[in-house]
Structure 1
Amino acid sequence: MIKFFWLGGLLLMQVLWAQSISGVVLNRQSGEAIADVNIYLINGHGGAVSDARGNFRLEIPPGSADESIVVFDHISYDTLHVALKKARVTRAFYLRPKILKSGGIVVEGKKPADMEQDLPVSINTLEARSFEGKGYIDVGDLLRTEQSIQIDENQSGKKTISLRGGNADDVIVFYNGIRMNSNYDNGFDLGLLNIEDLRQIEVIKGSNTALYGAEAFSGVINLVPRVRRDHQLRFIQKFGSYNSGDWSLNLNHTFAGRLHLSYNLRRAASQKSYTDSDDALENEITQHTAHALYMFNPQDKGDAANSLSAMFIDTRLDYSNIRILEGLNDRNRIYSLRYRGDLGPTRNWLITASLQQLQSQHDILLLKDVLNRTINSASYRLDARKTFEGNNWRLIGAYQAEQSNVLFEDSRQDSLSGALSSLRLDLIRVKQGGVIISHFNSPVGNGLPGTIQVDGSYRYDRVSDIPRGAPPDSLTRALYPAIDGKRTWSESTFKVAFQLNMTSGAYNYNVYVNTGLNARFPTVANRLSRPISPGTNPLAGANRDPEKNRSTELGFQMERGESNGSLIDRWKINLSYFKNLYQNKIRNFRVGFSSRALYDNIPTASINGLELSALLWLFRERLRLEGTLADYDISEKAAFPLKSDFKLTAGAFFRWRDFSAQIRWFSANEQVGWFRGQDGSFSELRLKPFSNVNLHLSQTLSLWHIRSRIILSAQNLINDETELNGLAIRDRRFYMALELKY
């Protein structure tokens, strides 16, 4: 009888062996699960699709030969062919991300869809595998060591980003296609976003983008969130230097393969002490994020094809500084709705509507005055795009509209006499913009493998400021001439680009050049700035006309594709040169401890730059080495203060099974700025050059359906005692994190 059961068990195993295979599909570079992979048997019937965790089960027809081929196919990965005999005994199947051309650079993995519609520019795309589970605190923390980027952090913990030597208000930040910048001063705090929620980060460099609006003078940071995820529940706890604690809880669920829901709660706090006393800065962040994505066709791949999505973000920042009696409370809410698909008989529409509400309360003691500043604003935005396509051409038309209601109140009380002064601005700002982008491409000809692409864009923008409420008194109007009265600006800009893509054997080449004019309109904060006399520069004036930037960029890329049996899997080199010529450049100042903003204009300024990067993949892409260089010539240290003009970075990224290690070295030149004194003359401030090293280690463990990850992070290992206002700004920092997924 026992022999009978053994024989029956063996026969049952043979039947199951013959009827199906199962396993998990993973990214060969990152080890992450891959959803929506088509798995099928050549010349077989039916097939399977991997789920959000990468799992699949493929039914095999009885009698299939061991030599039959199982195919793993995904639009973003190289197709994998595995013999059925091997597939039966293999648990994990690894796919390699494709090399996809987009704009002026080569991107790993998924294409940035919006940039496929724009002109070719230099883009650096960071996918989640390069930062997820590495212990970074926020997006600013991650981007600090990137080639073209400078992150500035003030005492409240606010982190702003500058690109290619420009200013923070020259960079536009998008999250899931929604503009995040303040409609008051065009700034944004990168520390408010949860880095663990992102699928990829696109650093779009230069002024010659057409879709992103007039304010993108230096570039765009496009943050792409994860909507569909490989887990139902995730918890992350981080803690480390500055008595910091940061935890987040994420919940996800999919209904009938069509509706994807996601909710994330994040709480973070830190306390940073002064070096010369027991006083400290305290920061707290609370953030709620919710996403909903409905796929009209469950067979569509990706997060945005034929879909309707909704998003809600509510972020609150509380900051206090007992030493200087300062407090800050910021709240940022965003509601958005996005549709991609067809409208009646017309195809290829992308329509986005959003509402952004900002509330800011700032209290501080300035010498003997107590300052209370309140900013409340609400922005309603609409972006509608339509794409027309032919065999060798594509035309994109877009209409963008925004109405912002801004209320600014500034009250100052003398703590000794009790005298009270105030400044108030109640304003409606209306923006309208239209853009047309054309792409034409054709083969190189003469038997050469490659394509030539010619692109052009035309953009028209109109901005109107409409004051409302009671008019200001005569003294206020005399001090701030732009505070009263309606003002309208309008500008037309043209841009053209040329791109050549060629392939020769295992080598891919890409060359592009773009040139054009961009215009940037004064911000609401500029209306609350006082014009100042020319002082020592007779060429300087004071007006609120739009700034202009005529930009030209030349880029080259060369890549060696994958080679079999070689130590070096592949390599890539990027080189770009750009020249920005500014006209009517606005310079913003604050003198001494005053809270009042001053400004003037200079006729011309310029930033020229050279950027070089090299990447090398080895040992079946388990090891990646990279090095970058950025060298800028910044003509005006008052218009672009405290910008580093030379930066080197080097990094090594290693992954073996469930262990990963990342080490990055970076070196930045001194930061120089010119600041105006009480007498109108300029003085120079220099922050010394610095170099440092960051290290990130992580280990993943799996038990049943629970996956955990332990993360260790060390930043600024070369301890630098540089201080600013009694606070260490380049000191050594350590963090640890634990992640649990179900």
Structure 2
Amino acid sequence: MRLLQTIFILLFFAVDLRAQDTATIRGTVKEFDTREGISNVQVYIKKSKIGTTTNIDGSFELEIKSYNPNMTIVFQHIAYDTVEYTIAKLNSPADIYLNARVIPLGEFEVRDKRVYSEIGKDLPQSISVIGSEIFERLSFDDVGELLRNEQSIQVADELNGQKTIAIRGGNSDETIVLYNGIKLNSIYNNIADISLIDLQDIEKIEVIRGSNTVIYGSEAFSGVINIVPKFNEDYHVRFRQKIGSYDSGQWTLNLNGSIGNLSGFISTRQGASVKLFSTQDESNFQIRNSVEHFTGNYVYRMNDNNDNSLYGTMLSTTKDYENERDKEILSNEEKIYSSRFDAYLPAIREIEFKVSRRIFEQSHSVNSDFGSLTRTISENSLNISVDKPFEIALVEQRFVYQLESTKLDFSDIRENNFIVSTGISRKIINRTRHGIVSITKFHQESRSDKVRVTDFAISFRHEFLKDVQDETIPGNEFSKGNDEYNGDYMQETSYKFSYNIAGSTDNTNYNSYLNYGTNFKFPSMSQRISSIYLKTSTDETV
């Protein structure tokens, strides 16, 4: 009997010691900036085979059979900095925070046999791509704040909230801004206001620096910026509320879903801010800004091979600005409707059809002791394009036809002003523009690392333009008869070639481009309208 008691006591202490040598560590791994859980983080004991990974919400459970408080636990993920803690310093459950790794990358080229990137259809050249995973984490206010951090891109801010872009020291009217291939530049002055685009709706931004573009028109002397919208996300509903200084705030609602082969993304946003002028007389003049934004994107894939797909986009933005001190009111409203059909037809194989419409309304009024200005600009443009690629061995040939039909209704009414910039109070102009583009690319890849890729491309673009004036109402007696153009017809041709070679040596990777070509630029609508009239004391016109 005493022997059985002794054996029982020994077994009890053995189990107790075993329990004390086993520990379970539980916790959640989170991103430092967003405090959101990180999945697929490797959690393991250093210099051992004991480990696990975090689940979809970042939580983990690690059982350690040979427990030692001095053991080191490693938390490792390819996109984040690795951290290590001893077991003694961890509470259970523990919250572990990881910082995102910043990996500097040079500019890279987008290549694909069947290019999804709209901008990748152009001549071979260096393309900078900014993905949404970068700017969503850093919480930029808009596209302008994001691009301000990019090399050789200048962003100009106006007090009324408008933001324009210039590349490499060029002018704002020499940079083409696209929204999934749809031109956002005003037909009045060829300048794009990027503050009208909601950053939450963007999948990525593609940037071409330089004038080596042939598809997107002759105005891109400085470069091209293409904003690619989101068509689907990994969530169904997301709501955000921001509150900041200057009595500012905004809320955003995103909806995402799929039904069969149809996927859609909807986003709506409203925001406003109020600022005060700093004045000595304590008059408390205010500057009020408000914005309403709506975006809807969808894609319908007609078969499982994605050979026939229909894309649609609707964008609507309204911005209002009021300056009490300067008695200035500005209202902008922009709407874009677009549809793109990527088809694979038995007879002609790949072909793309695109139709888009852009409507822009601007109302601007200023009142002062010297007089008043009331200006309205109404733009209505219809764009149609057909894109047909061919591919034979190492040669890719692309033909593009583009039609742009635009109407500008411009009104400029001034009272008691000494300088009249336009000379007219109203003018209506219709512009029709045809473009024919041909691009021939030779692409060759080799097995040698020294010269991996060789590209050579030649292209031409021919454009026809015709302006027809519907109506002109003179602004004063000096502008009567100022109808120098009515039915002007112009045409120009540009030629370009591009050469790209890429490879590597023992310690160096290289990717070089050589671009050469000609370019042209048609007069903008504002240049068609504008002429300076100065009313002197002797009633003479200069």
TM range (shorter): 0.7 to 0.9
Equivalent AA in structure 1 for residue 272 of structure 2: A
Structure 1 residues 670-706: Cα deviation after superposition (integer angstroms, max 9, x where no partner): xxxxxxxxxx9xxxxxxxxxxxxxxxxxxxxxxxxxx
Q: 1 CA distance for matches of 2:236 and 2:507?
A: 41
**Conserved in 2, the CA contact under 8 Å of 1:100 and 1:107?**
no
What secondary structure does 1:519 align onto?
A: coil
Paired residue for 2:229?
225
Paired residue for 2:271?
268
Paired residue for 2:420?
none
**Conserved in 2, the CA contact under 8 Å of 1:208 and 1:517?**
no
Q: How does 1:639-678 map to 2 (within 5 A)?
A: none
Displacement of 1:521 in angstroms is 0.9
What secondary structure does 2:404 align onto?
A: strand
Equivalent AA in structure 1 for residue 390 of structure 2: F
Q: 2 CA distance for matches of 1:131 and 1:464?
A: 42
Paired residue for 2:530?
529
What is the aligned counterpart of 1:148 among 149, 152, 157?
152
Paired residue for 2:29?
none
What is the aligned counterpart of 1:235 among 239, 252, 257?
239
Q: How does 1:202-221 map to 2 (within 5 A)?
A: 202-221=206-225
CA 1:473/1:241 → structure 2, altered by over 3 Å: closer, same or farther?
Answer: closer
Paired residue for 1:492?
493
Paired residue for 2:412?
410
What secondary structure does 1:338 align onto?
A: strand
**Which one has a larger percent strand, Structure 1 or Structure 2?**
1
What secondary structure does 1:454 align onto?
A: strand
Equivalent AA in structure 2 for residue 431 of structure 1: R
Q: How does 1:223-372 map to 2 (within 5 A)?
A: 223-256=227-260, 258-276=261-279, 278-298=284-304, 300=306, 306-372=308-374
Q: 1 CA distance for matches of 2:474 and 2:156?
A: 35
**Conserved in 1, the CA contact under 8 Å of 2:449 and 2:503?**
no
What is the aligned counterpart of 1:437 among 390, 414, 439?
439
**Conserved in 2, the CA contact under 8 Å of 1:208 and 1:518?**
no
Q: 2 CA distance for matches of 1:385 and 1:395?
A: 11
Structure 1 residues 507-561: Cα deviation after superposition (integer angstroms, max 9, x where no partner): 53211100111111111111121169xxxxxxxxxxxxxxxxxxxxxxxxxxxxx
Equivalent AA in structure 2 for residue 143 of structure 1: L
Equivalent AA in structure 2 for residue 516 of structure 1: G
Q: 1 CA distance for matches of 2:391 and 2:37?
A: 35
What secondary structure does 1:468 align onto?
A: strand
CA 1:246/1:441 → structure 2, altered by over 3 Å: closer, same or farther?
Answer: same
Q: 1 CA distance for matches of 2:225 and 2:300?
A: 26
Equivalent AA in structure 2 for residue 491 of structure 1: E
**Conserved in 1, the CA contact under 8 Å of 2:334 and 2:360?**
yes
What secondary structure does 2:518 align onto?
A: strand
Equivalent AA in structure 2 for residue 267 of structure 1: Q
Displacement of 1:114 in angstroms is 2.9
Equivalent AA in structure 2 for residue 294 of structure 1: Y
Displacement of 1:503 in angstroms is 3.6
Paired residue for 2:537?
none
Structure 1 residues 248-278: Cα deviation after superposition (integer angstroms, max 9, x where no partner): 101111001x101221111111123223352
Q: 2 CA distance for matches of 1:453 and 1:200?
A: 25
What secondary structure does 1:245 align onto?
A: strand
Displacement of 1:343 in angstroms is 3.6
Displacement of 1:445 in angstroms is 8.8
**Conserved in 1, the CA contact under 8 Å of 2:297 and 2:312?**
yes
CA 1:436/1:32 → structure 2, altered by over 3 Å: closer, same or farther?
Answer: farther
Q: 2 CA distance for matches of 1:368 and 1:114?
A: 49
Q: How does 1:597-608 map to 2 (within 5 A)?
A: none
Paired residue for 1:123?
127
Q: 1 CA distance for matches of 2:227 and 2:381?
A: 20
Q: 2 CA distance for matches of 1:494 and 1:531?
A: 36
Displacement of 1:477 in angstroms is 4.2
Q: 2 CA distance for matches of 1:211 and 1:32?
A: 43
Displacement of 1:391 in angstroms is 1.7
Range that drifts further, 423-432 or 497-506 = 497-506
Equivalent AA in structure 2 for residue 175 of structure 1: Y
**Conserved in 1, the CA contact under 8 Å of 2:424 and 2:474?**
no
CA 1:33/1:381 → structure 2, altered by over 3 Å: closer, same or farther?
Answer: farther
**Conserved in 2, the CA contact under 8 Å of 1:458 and 1:492?**
yes
CA 1:375/1:476 → structure 2, altered by over 3 Å: closer, same or farther?
Answer: farther
**Conserved in 1, the CA contact under 8 Å of 2:382 and 2:404?**
yes
Q: 2 CA distance for matches of 1:134 and 1:170?
A: 29
CA 1:473/1:530 → structure 2, altered by over 3 Å: closer, same or farther?
Answer: closer
Q: 2 CA distance for matches of 1:33 and 1:463?
A: 55
Displacement of 1:112 in angstroms is 6.6
Count of paired positions:
437
CA 1:381/1:107 → structure 2, altered by over 3 Å: closer, same or farther?
Answer: closer
Displacement of 1:368 in angstroms is 2.2
Paired residue for 1:395?
397
Displacement of 1:336 in angstroms is 0.8
Paired residue for 2:142?
138
CA 1:100/1:384 → structure 2, altered by over 3 Å: closer, same or farther?
Answer: farther
Tell me the TM-score normalised to structure 2 length.
Answer: 0.74
Displacement of 1:422 in angstroms is 5.6
Q: 1 CA distance for matches of 2:450 and 2:161?
A: 54
Displacement of 1:504 in angstroms is 4.1
**Conserved in 2, the CA contact under 8 Å of 1:171 and 1:221?**
yes
Paired residue for 1:384?
386
Q: CA RMSD in A?
A: 3.5
Paired residue for 1:185?
189
Paired residue for 1:609?
none
Q: 2 CA distance for matches of 1:342 and 1:111?
A: 14
> Rg: which structure is higher?
2
Structure 1 residues 384-412: Cα deviation after superposition (integer angstroms, max 9, x where no partner): 11110122110111011111111111112
| Amino-acid identity (%) | 33
What secondary structure does 1:191 align onto?
A: helix
Q: Show structure 1 runs of 5+ residues with no match.
A: 1-30, 35-52, 55-95, 416-420, 533-590, 592-679, 681-742
Displacement of 1:306 in angstroms is 3.2
Displacement of 1:347 in angstroms is 1.8
**Conserved in 2, the CA contact under 8 Å of 1:272 and 1:280?**
yes
What secondary structure does 2:218 align onto?
A: coil
